[in-house]
Structure 1
Amino acid sequence: MKRRTRRVAFGLGFLALAALILVVVLVISMLSPTPPPPPGTPTETTAPDHRPKAQPADCPDVLVVSIPGTWESKANDDPYRPTANRNSLMLRVTKALQAKFPRSRAEVYTVPYVAQFRNPTVLTDKQRDYNDSRAQGKRRAAAKLRETHEQCPLTGYVLMGFSQGAVIAGDIASDIGNGRGPIPEADQDLVLGVGLIADGRRESGRQHDVGPSPDGAGAEITLAPFGSLVPGIAMTGSRSGGFGTLEDRTYSICAPGDLICDAPRVTNPLAAIGKLANAAQNPVHALYATTRYWALDGSTATQWMYAWAAGLISDAPRPAHS
C-alpha cells in the first residue's frame, strides 16, 4: 500500500515539474525577440485601423515629389524624365534617387509647371506672373499627392523643392501639417520629410535649419507689408501655422546672402521686386550645387539633400501589396 502511495506521489510530482517547465518555456518564448527576417524580405507595417493592411501591387513604397525652381520646368514637361531644363538644380537630386532605387520602392515625380516670374520693372518681359506660376505648381503637386493617397493609402511621401519650387513645397507641407492639405490629417505620419532649398517664405527657427544658416527671412516675408502692391506678385508673408505637425520633419537650406531666402529689410518695394525677379541669376542663389556659398562637412546643398532623401527612403516601411 505504501509502495502504491509513493508511486502516486511520484507521478503527481513529475506532472507538477513538467507543468512548471512548460510554463518557464512559454514565458521565455514570449519574452524572446522575434528573429529578424532574411535579407530582402519585405517588412509589413502595422497600419492604423482606418487604413487597409495592403495596397495595390503597382503602388510605390514612397513617392518623392520634387518641384523645380524658376525657369527649371515647363507646363508640358515629362514628370518622370524632365528635359525642360537639363541644368535644373533638383535634377541632381532626383536623378541620383532614380538611379539608386527601383520605381517600386521610390517613384520620383518632378512637378511640371510654368515656373516663371515676370519682372514688372521690365515692360518687355512677357513671362507669366509669379502668382499664376506658383498657383499652377501648387495645384499640380497637390493633385499628384491626393491622387496617389487615394489609390495607394500606405505609400509614404518625401517633398522637396528649390526656390519657387521650395515655396510651393513648403506651402503644401504647411497645409498638410495644419490639417488643410491633400494628405488627410489622420495620415500626416505618411509624410516622411520635407526638404527645401532657398525657400522664399523661410523663417529662421521654424524648421530644422541645416548647416550655415542666416538669421534673415525669405523675400516673401520681408515684402509682406506691401501686400499686392505690384500686380501679379503677391508676397504672402508667413505661413499660417508654420509647418504644424511637420515642423520636426522639415529641413531648410539657405545660403547667407541669398536674396530669395535671406532678404534684406525693404524700404523701396518696387526696387526690391526688381531685385527679387533677378535673384535667380544671383551667384549665391545659383550655386547650391557647389560649396562656394553653402557647404556642410564638405557636401553641397544638393549632395546633402540627396543623402537625406535616400536615408528616408531606405528606412521607410515596406507596405504589403495585394
Structure 2
Amino acid sequence: MTVRGWFVVLVVVVAGFVVPATAAAVPAPSHHAKCPDLYVLAIPGTWADAAAPGILREITSDLGPRTLVHYVGYSATAFPWETAIYGRSKAQAVANTTGLARAMVRRCPVTRLAITGYSQGADAAGDVAAEIGTGRGAIRPEQVAGVVLISDPRRSHRDNLVGPRLTGQGSGGPRLSGMGHLSPRTYSICAPRDLYCNTPRDYYVTRIVGYLAETSDPTPSQMGQYQAEAGDILDELLAQGGIGAVGREVSNQRARQQITVFNRFLQSGVHTNYAAFVVAPGVSAVQWAHNHLAALASAHS
C-alpha cells in the first residue's frame, strides 16, 4: 500500500473508534397557528444555547411577523470532559436542525427555510446546507431561501465570501463536495485573523487536529469526504517535503512561532467580535447577516 493509502486508512480508523452520537430530542416549532413565510434555523456556537444565542439574537431579531426564528438546541461543547466531544456535539446540531426543517416542511410545504450559524453552529449549518444542496438531504434545495455562515471551521476558498479576501481555509478542512445547488445562496463571513475559519495552509498540525476534531464522530454518508480531505492534507505535506514538514512545524522555533500566533489570536478576541468586524463600508458582519435575512424575509412575505 502507498504512503498515501496508509495515511488515509490511519485517520479513518482513528475516527471510526469514536462512539456515534445520540441526538437530543428535537423540539417542535413553537408557532402552530399558521405557516410562516420564512423559517429561520439559527445554530449558536460552542458554549451558547437557545436561551443565550450570542450574536445570533441580533442577527435574527425583527425579521417581520411572517418570519419564525428557532434557535437550535444541542450540546454546544467541544472537549471529552464536557457533555460531548466536538464531533458528537456537532452531530447533534446537524440532526436537530435537520429534524426541525423536516417537521416544518411537512407541516408547511410552502414555507421557505433559511439557515444560519456561528462557529460550531456554522460548522453544523454548513453541513446541513451541503447535504441539502448536493441532494443527500431530505429537504429539496429549492425549499431553502438562503444560508449565512459566520466563522465556519469548514470554510472553503470556493465559498461566497462576504468581506476581505482570505488566503487560508477553515481549520477543519473544506467540504469537498461544496454546497451544490445552494452555492449561489450560501454566504460565508470570516475575519482575516480568525484562525477557526482562516487557517494558513502550511499550519499542518492545526489542520490535522482540526480534521480529527471534525471526524471525532464520523457521519457515514461523509466517509468519502473524510478520505478525500485526508488525501488533500497528505498531498500538500508531500509537496512541502513529506511528513518531515510536520516535524519542522513542531520544532522549537516553528512551535514558538505558532504559539505566539495563537496567543495573539486568543487575546485579540477577533473570533467573538463579529459585531465590530466591518465587511462593507459602514456595515459590520452582524449587520450584513441581519440585513440579508431581512431581505429574504421581505422577499417571501
Q: In structure 2, the residue corresponding to 1:220 is in which secondary structure?
A: coil
Deviation at 1:189, TM superposition (A): 1.4
1:170–1:280 Cα change, 3 Å: farther
1:90 to 39, 56, 70: 56
- Which residue pairs with 2:291 in the alignment? 307
- Cα displacement (A) at 1:198: 0.6
1:126 to 1:312, Cα distance in 2 relative to 1, 3 A: closer
The answer to whether structure 1 residue 241 and structure 2 residue 225 are counterparts is: no
Q: Does 1:182 align with 2:138?
A: yes
Task: Identify unmatched segments of 5+ residues in structure 1.
Answer: 1-55, 74-81, 222-237
Aligned-residue offset at 1:220: 0.3
Percent identical residues: 39
Counterpart of 1:295 in 2: which secondary structure? strand
- Please tell me whether residue 201 in structure 1 is matched to residue 154 in structure 2: yes
| Per-residue deviation, 1:311 | 0.5
CA shift, 1:181, in A, is 1.2
Q: Secondary structure at the match of 1:268?
A: helix
Indicate if the aligned counterparts of 1:213 and 1:255 stay in contact, CA closer than 8 A. no
Q: Tell me the equivalent position of 1:106.
A: 67
Does the aligned pair in 1 maintain the 2:42–2:117 contact within 8 Å? yes
Residues 158-203 of structure 1: CA deviation (Å, up to 9, x unaligned): 111111111111111111111111313xxx2121111011111001
Do the aligned partners of residues 169 and 62 (structure 1) sit closer, same or farther apart at CA in structure 2, a change above 3 Å counting?
Answer: same
Q: Which runs of 5+ in 2 are unaligned?
A: 1-31, 214-258
The alignment status of 1:268 with 2:252, answered yes or no, reads: no
SS of residue paired to 1:168: helix
CA distance in 2, matches of 1:162, 1:150: 27
Query: Kindly tell me: are residues 243 and 267 of structure 1, through their superposed partners in 2, closer, same or farther at Cα, counting changes over 3 Å?
Result: closer
Q: What's the secondary structure of 2:131's corresponding residue? A: helix
Q: Could you state the TM-score of these two structures normalised by the residue count of structure 1?
A: 0.63
1:131 matched to 2:115? The reply is: no
Per the TM alignment, residue 153 of structure 1 is displaced from its structure 2 partner at its CA by: 0.6
Letter in 2 for 1:215: T
SS in 2 for 1:96: coil
Whose helix fraction is larger, Structure 1's or Structure 2's? 2
Answering whether residue 271 of structure 2 is matched by residue 285 of structure 1, we say: yes
Letter in 2 for 1:63: Y
CA distance in 1, matches of 2:88, 2:131: 19
Higher Cα Rg, which structure = 1
Is 1:63–1:158's contact at 8 Å kept on the other side of the alignment? yes
Residue 71 (1) aligns with residue 37 (2) = no
- The letter of the residue matching 1:209 is L
Structure 1 residue 289 displacement after superposition: 0.9
| Offset, 1:241 | 1.9
Q: Contact conserved, 1:66 with 1:90, CA < 8 A, in 2?
A: yes
Aligned pairs, number? 220
4+ runs of 1 displaced by more than 2 Å? 125-128, 264-275, 277-282
